[in-house]
Structure formats: C-alpha cells, structure tokens
Structure 1
Amino acid sequence: MQGVTNRRSVGMDRGQWRELFYQECQTIIQSWRSYDGRFIFKWAKAVMKKCNIFVWRAALDRLPTYKALSYRNFNFGNTHCGLCEAWEETIDHLLCYCQFALEVWGLISNWCKVENLSFSSVKELILAADNMGLGKKSTKVCKGIVFVMSWCLWKARNEKVFD
C-alpha cells in the first residue's frame, strides 16, 4: 500500500484507518482489472463454438502449426506452410499471408462489398472483423464469415497435410 504508514503516526482512529485501507485495496484491485493495452477477444455469437474457439486460440498463437511444434521440440524436418509450401508455417502466415488465404479474403471482400481484406496478424484480422464500417447487423454477419473462413482455411490445411 503506497503512502499508507502506521495509523498512529498520522493521527487516525481505527475507523478512518480501515476506510483508507479499503480504498487503497480497491485501487489496487481496479488496476489489476485494467484492460488498457490488452487484446480483448469478442466472440461471434451467431457462429459455431468451434470456430470461435479456433479464432481465440489463433489470436493467442496456441495452434499446432509447424513453427509452434518446432518450438516444442517436435521436429518434422519441413516447417513450410501446409497449403502453399513456400513460407514457414505460422498461424499468421496461414490466415493472413498465404497465397490461398489472400485469394479467399479477396473473394470474401468482393462478396461482402467491403474494401480488400488484408491483415498482418490474426489479431488484426479479428479487429478488422469488428470494425468493417458497416451497419451493426452487417458487421456481425461479416465477422461471422471471417471467423468461419479462418476455421475453413485451417481445416483445408489439415486435410492437405494429413490426407
């Protein structure tokens, strides 16, 4: 507790001391709950849970890409992208930079009638889905489309790698 010393040295009675102690504790607790600078994931309510969970895990970089597995000492030799086989496979590459993903986002941006969707990270993908500059209902629909298509890209990658 910063600035709080012995109650007798500052001339407080027990009730004043408790009130000051309580206020200091509340200040500390509120600072722990501060969300300044943190990434906050908002679920797409109209989308299947598995798609929401996938995008959430992608934002946390908790998916088993070749790069993530190599950090955990699971070496498969080749760590190139399972779809394009041109770059090292990270979740950002799979969903944002991969040639297949770029084509998908181009088609979706035409379909949703929004400017070209291009992202530098999964977190940017999620933020862009929340802020498309459309009406409230249209934004929810486009966010759902982005979440489902992200999951479909992952599923297509898995089918190509494992089948």
Structure 2
Amino acid sequence: MKANYLTHDSIWSIPFKDYHSESLKSTITVRDAILCQAQSVGAATHLLHSWTLNGKFSIAKAYHWFRQAKPILVWAPALHHQFIIPSHRVLTTLALQPKLATLDNLTRKGIYIVNRCILCKSSLETYDHLFSTCSFTQKIWHGIHTWLALTDRSVNPVAELHWCTTRKRSRHWKNGWLKSSIAATSYQIWHERNSRIFQGLEHTEAQLLHLIRVNVCTRILHRVPSAVYEQAIQRLNFS
C-alpha cells in the first residue's frame, strides 16, 4: 500500500481512481464517509481514536457508528415460538414493520392505484385499516378471541404480541397458542386480500376462522409435549 499508492499522499488525501484495487476503493469510500461527518482530518483522526478499546481498534464501535440505529421491536421475541408456522412468522414480521405492499405503501413509492380496501370495500387500504380497523378483519379477530377465551382484547397485532411477552406464564403452551393464532390470523388476512385482488376468490369469515384454527391446531398438536397432549386436544376443541 505504501510503496504503490501512498508514496506522495496520505490515506486522507489520496484520490479515488478506477484502477485501484477493490480493497483500496472500499477504504477510500469509508474514509470519505468519515470525513463528510467529521468535516476535517483532525476531527476524523479523533473519531478513529474513539473507536479503540483497551488500546486496540474495536470493529464493534466502528460498526455501531456506521449503521443506522433502529428502535427495538418489543414484539419480535414473541414471534420466535415453535408453535408459529415459519411462513406465518415471516409474513407477520413484514406486516408489523410495516413492509408489505399495501396500497398506501405503493402510492408512497409512486405507484398510483385506486385505493380501496378489497375486504370491506368502503375505506382506504392502509396497514392499520387492513389488519385492525377493517370491519371484515375485526370479525376475524373477534372470532379468534372467542376461540381463545379472551375478552376485551385489542385487535391490533402489535399490541397483542407485546401483551404476550409481558405475561407471567410466557412459556406455557397456551401462550404459544395465542402467539400462533395472532401470526396465523395476520397471515390469512393478507392471503385473503391477495386472493380477492389477483384470483377473484372470496372466503367468508367462517371459512377463514376454520382455516386459521386448523393451521394452528395442526402445528400445536405436532409439537406440544406429550404430557399435555390430551389437555391440548380438549382445550383446542380439535379432533
């Protein structure tokens, strides 16, 4: 490096050239990002010294400086449960951030489509509406709450998952039943929305509730401990 590139320049002044090696190009890119933030070589050098730990350079400190810190997702641990079907986990994670291609998200990206909820056909499709306030969605959530024997519960998936993480008996199989039901419901709401838009297929609330229960029960009964298997069958009302 010194013999070929830094004979007359320092790492702070060497210009970017197309013939440079990939490692040098990456180093210069990182250097420019530091200089842009620090505004001077002296300040950049001081910043580099702050990334040391016990006299040694700390990659972790540099990484935390470069990355964009994001808020902690308090509901995320609730989705890492063996009773949750993997595809339901992935979809629910995308839905709760929210990163799904809802019509309002598409509009923000410059894709203009007539925005109307395909489920209730009376409101704009937004994340909050689709998964919480839509009249069709609320009937699904209330049906699931009845099955779970829960009363006066929120129909907001984020609030529900956060509530799961604060329960005292978070490792009990019934808590896993609740988490699995939340993920399965979110998945089926999105799946029903897509079925109506792209395939012209509509299902009633009763049909979706039955499908959610079958998916959740099948998953639980394949993974629940044998000691509580009979209890689970009776409580789930599944045969």
Common fold: TM-score over 0.5: yes
Q: 1:118 to 1:26 in 2, by over 3 A?
A: same
1:159 aligned partner: 195
Aligned ranges 1:8-87 → 2 under 5 Å: 20-22=54-56, 25=58, 28=61, 37-40=71-74, 41-42=76-77, 43-76=80-113, 78-87=114-123
Q: 1:19 to 1:91 in 2, by over 3 A?
A: closer
1:53 counterpart letter in structure 2: V
**Whole-angstrom distance in 1 between the partners of 2:85 and 2:102:** 22
**TM-score of the aligned structures, taking structure 2 as reference length:** 0.51
C-alpha contact 1:106 1:116 (8 A) present in aligned 2: no
1:124 counterpart letter in structure 2: A
1:154 deviates by: 0.9
Larger Rg: 2
Number of corresponding residues: 146
Q: Which SS does the other structure have where 1:67 is aligned?
A: helix
Identity %: 17
Deviations 1:87-106 (A, max 9, x none): 22122211111111111111
Q: Which runs of 5+ in 1 are unaligned?
A: 6-17
1:81 deviates by: 1.2
2:94 counterpart letter in structure 1: R
- Residue 150 (structure 1) aligned to one of 169, 186, 195: 186
- Residue 118 (structure 1) aligned to one of 154, 168, 175: 154
1:37 deviates by: 5.0
1:137 aligned partner: 173
Structure number with higher relative contact order (C-alpha < 8 Å, ≥ 6 residues apart): 1
C-alpha contact 1:105 1:117 (8 A) present in aligned 2: no
1:58 deviates by: 0.7
Q: Which runs of 5+ in 2 are unaligned?
A: 1-45, 201-239
1:49 deviates by: 1.3
Q: Which SS does the other structure have where 2:55 is aligned?
A: helix
